[in-house]
Amino acid sequence: MTIHAFLFLSLCIACSILGLTAEMSDSWATLAKVGAVVFGALFAGSLVIGKRIKFDPVLR
């Protein structure tokens, strides 16, 4: 896993925990959940760009 992927994964987990468990106003909780989605998408993108996921066109 690349450094960027690890960073995005840890930020996604932190935003998820913050959005689900912390007692905040509705706007901050929504912002934390949106951050978790954005960092999750960036994590998936960094895995694909980093070529850590290998796509085999012929399933053997």
Give the burial string for 22-54 (b: 16+ CB within 10 Å, else e).
eeeeeeebeebeebbeebbebbeebbeeeeeee
Q: What is the pTM of this model?
A: 0.74
Place 3 in a pLDDT band, splitting at 50, 70 and 90: confident
Confidence (pLDDT) at 42: 92
Per-residue pLDDT, averaged over 3-16, amounts to 90
Q: What is the pLDDT of residue 47?
A: 84
48's torsion region: left (phi>0), alpha (psi -120 to 50) or beta? alpha
Q: Which amino acid is at 10?
A: S
pLDDT in tens, 17-43: 888 887 878 788 888 889 999 999 999
